[in-house]
Structure 1
Amino acid sequence: MFKRYAVYYTPEPGTPLADFGAAWLGWDSANGRACQQPDIAGLDVAALTDTPRKYGFHGTIKPPFRLADGHTAEGLQEALAAFCTRSAPVTLEGLQLTRLGRFLALVPQGDASSLAQLAARAVQELDPFRAPLTEADLTKRRAARLTPAQDAHLVRWGYPYVLDQFRFHLTLSGKLDTPTIERAEAALALMPSQLDLAPYRLTGLTLLGEDDAGMFHQIHRYALTG
């Protein structure tokens, strides 16, 4: 049994983006194994990807949570499967490399409202499976100096960056200093053209579990067929 569960968007295994993300971060969540990271002169890829590695390459839909009392992993799987049969795939204008504060990520180009609506529904409809946060959890999150709206979401939904505070992104690094983020950005600059990210179609959602070592593993990827 896993410690926590999460619902992420992960690229379909075997696609160029999925292969790139696993190699870049050094962790393949679909197969539960470490990957050889690229050797780039002047750049410590292992160090700059240390923070996001354990999650695997993903975009958060419903953030990691402990199961609530009275609920099971099997019940969560059934609920997510049903949710995905009611939900349509999402087509974005594209994905682009962007700086989000001090880290790098792929973010949607153009209108992403349909993706935000999908994420909001997942957060709300699957919330009965989420155990309430502990006081320690709340204190840790509040250290990030949340806005009143974000704090309200933290209390109600277990995470501050949901609903109107949601911004979809596929994380590529931890927080970096200016020289490092500039070198990493330059190394990744040609990636979008090589991976054919425009337009980009999201065709499924993935349930993942966190093991005792803190690494996330794919349990099942469900097609969006609504």
Structure 2
Amino acid sequence: MARYAIYYAPERASLLWRFGSSVLGADPESGQTVPQIVPDGFLPDDWQSFTASPRRYGFHATLKAPFELAPGKTEQDLFAAFRAFAGRQIAFSAPALEPVLYGDYVTLQEKTPDPRLQALAGLCVREFDAFRAPLSDKDRARRKPQGLSAREREHLENWGYPYVFEDFVFHMTLAGPLPENRGQDASTALSAAYDKAVKDEDFSVRSLSIFVEPGPGEPFKLALRAPFVAKAS
């Protein structure tokens, strides 16, 4: 059964989109592989392996984690509600990003957290929860609830994902999981590559996307971009 996720994905023409897709070696919008950036100090085969997990999900930041559709809900229903939701949002520029080591992953995170991103993520979690099927036992086990805090377990039960609201961290995964002795090397090398490729491009949030996993284990595909069209009053 297909799963759907609400993600932030950079605009297709942006340097950020090109950079992220090139680091992962795949473009989730076209569904095609792209020439992969291999950071200094890494072998191509090793880097291909270190990016296998984030490559399957596509370059993105999670706002509403993957979910199966609730009984009685259709893809058309979700897409229509999503377009309407995006149409009510106002585009904004957010603080610059930087590659950081986040556990055993390297991710792009804001240099200074922006409350507008936090609020947008919370809106997505709430607004689209009616479309989410209840967690299966398999889904629940995959989140390893024994390692979560009490609040994260509560979020998992109520919203299908532990890292929401006050536990949300905006991040775009570039690589991982990485061996313990390579994490800092990857972070340093990706920081240099990011500075070279993205430079001083404005980090803007002008749209959201729905990514679809057609079947278990298949690559996620960017199925719909919906622009923000509301204007500040």
TM-score, length-scaled by structure 1: 0.93
Q: Deviations over 1:78-108 (max 9, x none)?
A: 1111111111123212111111111110001
- Residue of structure 2 equivalent to 1:164: 166
Q: Distance in 1 between matches of 2:69 and 2:137?
A: 17
How much does 1:198 deviate? 6.0
Partner of 2:29: 30
Number of the residue aligned with 1:189: 191
Partner of 1:74: 76
Write the distance in 1 (CA, Å) between the matches of 2:202 and 2:33: 30
| Cα distance in 2, alignment partners of residues 99 and 140 from structure 1 | 23
Which residue of structure 1 lines up, in the alignment, with residue 212 of structure 2?
209
Secondary structure, counterpart of 1:209 in structure 2: strand
Residue type of the partner of 1:206?
S
Matched, 1:21 2:34: no
Change (3 A) 1:111 1:189: closer
Match of 1:99 among 94, 98, 101: 101
Q: Which residue of structure 1 aligns with residue 139 of structure 2?
A: 137
Matched pairs, number = 225
- Which residue in 1 is equivalent to 2:120? 118
Alpha carbons of structure 1 residues 118 and 8: separation in structure 2 relative to 1, 3 Å: same
The amino acid that maps onto 1:152 is: E
How far off its partner does 1:192 sit? Answer: 3.8
The one-letter amino acid paired with 2:28 is S
User: What SS is found at the alignment partner of 2:181?
Assistant: helix
Encode CA deviations 1:167-197: one digit per residue, 9 max, x unaligned.
Answer: 0001011121232112212321223433035
Structure 2 unmatched ranges of 5 or more = none
RMSD over equivalenced CA pairs, Å = 1.7
TM-superposed CA distance for 1:19, in Å, is: 1.2
Q: Which amino acid aligns with 1:4?
A: R
1:148, distance to aligned residue in structure 2 (A) = 0.5
How far residue 208 of structure 1 moved from its aligned partner, in angstroms, is 1.1
Q: What are the ranges of 5 or more consecutive residues in structure 1 without an aligned counterpart?
A: none
| Bigger mean CA offset, 40-49 vs 86-95 | 40-49
Shift of 1:209: 0.7
Task: Output one character per residue of 1:45-87: Cα deviation in whole Å (capped at 9) or x when no partner.
Answer: 1011111111110000111000111001011011111111111
Amino acid at match of 1:222: A
TM-score of the aligned structures, taking structure 2 as reference length: 0.90
For 1:142 and 1:40, locate their aligned partners in 2 and report how far apart those are by CA, in whole Å.
32
Change in 2 beyond 3 A, CA 1:197/1:175: farther
Q: In structure 2, how many angstroms separate the alpha carbons of the residues matched to 1:164 and 1:103?
A: 21
Runs of 4+ in structure 1 displaced over 2 angstroms?
38-42, 191-194, 196-199
Alignment check: 8 A CA contact 1:24 1:45 kept: no
Deviation at 1:221, TM superposition (A): 0.7
Asked whether the equivalents of residues 21 and 59 of structure 2 are also in contact (C-alpha less than 8 Å), the reply is yes
Aligned-partner Cα distance in 2 for 1:112–1:144: 30
Counterparts of 1:190 and 1:74, CA distance in 2: 42
Q: Is contact 2:122-2:165 (8 Å) kept?
A: yes
Tell me whether 1:221 sits opposite 2:225 in the alignment. Answer: yes
**TM superposition shift of 1:200:** 1.5
CA distance in structure 1 between the aligned counterparts of 2:115 and 2:108, rounded to whole angstroms: 16
Equivalent-residue separation in structure 1 for 2:171 and 2:162 (angstroms): 15
